[in-house]
Amino acid sequence: MTPTPHLTEIAARVERPAPFQPVDRSLLPEAGTATVDIVVPVYNEERALPGCLHTLHARLSEGFPFPWRITVADNASTDDTLATARRLADELPGVGVVHLDRKGRGLALRTVWGASDADIVAYMDVDLSTGLDGLLPLVAPLASGHSDLAIGSRLAAGARTVRGPRREFVSRCYNGIIRLTHGVRFTDAQCGFKAARTEVLRPLLEVTRDDAWFFDTELLLLAEHNGLRVHEVPVDWVEDVDTRVDVVSTATDDLRGLWRMARLKASGGARVAVRPRPAPSAEHPDAVLAPSTGRGVLSWEVGCFIAIGVVSTVGQALLYWLARGWWTPAVANLVSLFVLTVLNTEANRRLTFRHSSTAPARAHLGAGGLFVLGYLVTSGAVLWFKWLDPGASPAAETAVLAAASVAVTGVRFATLRLAVFAGPRSRTS
């Protein structure tokens, strides 16, 4: 990958900075004071750019309650996009232009965001696929200080999308891979509709390396890893088929990026010097609070572990019973135990030990050792039972399997709590 120029070097290429457009407080008495810089990255978009800027400018002028400006980030277009952007900047107050001589959406956003003097920076795609009704809900939690980053989500509850099955499938698979491999809570990494508070964004930008489409995911992974609050806005989204995205190439680059970020987090290089959020505290002056002891945490962990263990034991027994119609007891037990171990570990990571900072890969690797122990114990119990009673039914075998699974539960809990999920708690706990 080509080395990323330092932010101060790229910032000198800003050719037309635009002033922030003031808010008419006679019409909007509740208007805020936080300034907002909305970036529209473009590459060969001479056709789409005029409609985008006229529509966005009109919506902002009609009632956006924060001082704003629009910055067109032209990254190495080879058509008349730059000339079109300059013409529109002359025509529309509050529109500025930045030109980069290298292509890449991530590079464009890092350049403009890193040099911006706004309190809040945002971006949206030039095709305006995301409905602009979501812009104020995107910015408001940042202006209030409640959140650090805000993202539009096409997969959150309440979102409405119009897109083809291929893109829907790719999007859901990619975001599922992110949640499985990195244990994140956000649902949609690559919707082209995001915003951030500049003061918390700049340290993250110094660590980001991707110049292209993975930049969005990289930024969100860094934000969540460092305990920042990411706010999701369910959006309306309509697919524009006139796209510059090569789906196959982008997917390959994204998978490489996920692997790179996993290694960066494991090495400690993903830690950024950002001011941590204060711990939650009661607003009511006379609130009656529970004593701060570890007993409540232990009770939660034991209760969740038991509940998940019961469901897992039943699930394994059911899967074993179904698999015995095709396979031997040992093979049926191996398959059922493997499937339920993965699901059990993920459930415990997300619920029982949800405040642990243990990475998903380490959690599942540690659970692998417990998988071997569980397989040996449960298989031994079933085979021993079959040796004692060769004519035993699959239902009787299943009962023995369930009893053996319960026997290793105590060891599993102790190992998970004291070894696999031991260590520092997450900064968001």
> 358-390, pLDDT tens digit by residue?
777 778 777 777 778 777 888 888 888 888 888
Distance CA 24, CA 30 (A): 10
| Mean confidence (pLDDT) of the chain | 86
Cβ atoms 238, 162 nearer than 8 A: yes
**pLDDT of the residue at 427:** 46
**pLDDT of the residue at 97:** 95
Residue carrying structure tokens 């696999």: 420
Contact partners, residue 96, CB within 8 Å, separation at least 6 = 14, 16, 17, 18, 69, 70, 71, 72, 89
DSSP-derived 3-state class of residue 47: coil
Residue 238, by phi and psi: left (phi above 0), alpha (psi -120 to 50) or beta?
Answer: beta
Residue carrying structure tokens 């408001």: 140
**pLDDT of the residue at 6:** 44
pLDDT-flagged residues of the chain (< 70) = 1-16, 27, 243-248, 290-295, 423-429
**pLDDT of the residue at 157:** 93
For residue range 6-31, list pLDDT tens digits in order.
Answer: 444 444 355 667 889 988 777 677 77
**pLDDT of the residue at 278:** 79
**pLDDT of the residue at 15:** 63
Helix axes of 360-388 and 394-407: crossing angle, nearest 10 degrees: 130
Distance CA 270, CA 260 (A): 11
Distance CA 182, CA 55 (A): 37
**pLDDT of the residue at 373:** 79
**pLDDT of the residue at 118:** 96
**pLDDT of the residue at 5:** 45
Distance CA 61, CA 211 (A): 32
